[in-house]
Structure 1
Amino acid sequence: MLDFSQFSGLILFMFIFTAGFWLLIFLLTFVVPYWIGGTIWENFILKKEAREAAEGK
């Protein structure tokens, strides 16, 4: 049987472990695709502006 200090340590470990797990899931499913999509979109806009500037010369 666990005494209070062991039990509280186990609860703290499980909280940190599950918080890290859900943070990793959140980053992989929302933040990283948003970041990659924004980078691709920004590069597309910059190339479009450069092409329009070259055609305007």
Structure 2
Amino acid sequence: MTQGLKLISPLDADYAEHREAAERQRATREWLERRERELGFVQDAPPVAPKAAER
């Protein structure tokens, strides 16, 4: 028994929504990275503690 695969056309609305969502995620990630560089990272954040050595 084989099942037919549902192919998604680039013209399909679901495909376009997926592409638009990926573009929004990329734009948001770039904006956040740019914002972090501009601010020089968060100044009031607690320092990161080094991981304890495993025994």
Q: Distance in 2 between matches of 1:30 and 1:18?
A: 18
The count of aligned residue pairs is 35
Structure 2: which 5+ residue stretches go unaligned?
1-9, 45-55
Pick the structure with greater CA Rg.
Answer: 1
Which residue identity is paired with 2:18? G
RMSD: 2.0
Question: Equivalent pairs: percent with the same residue?
Answer: 11
TM-score by length of 1: 0.52
Offset of residue 2 of structure 1? 1.8
After TM superposition, what 4+ stretches of structure 1 lie above 4 angstroms from structure 2?
none
Q: Distance in 2 between matches of 1:15 and 1:7?
A: 12
Q: Once the two structures are superposed, what CA deviation does each residue of 1:5-55 show, in whole Å capped at 9, x if it has no partner? A: 1000000000001001001100111142x62xx7xxxxxxxxxxxxxxxxx
Q: Which of 12, 17, 25 matches 1:16? A: 25
Structure 1: which 5+ residue stretches go unaligned?
39-57
TM-score by length of 2: 0.54
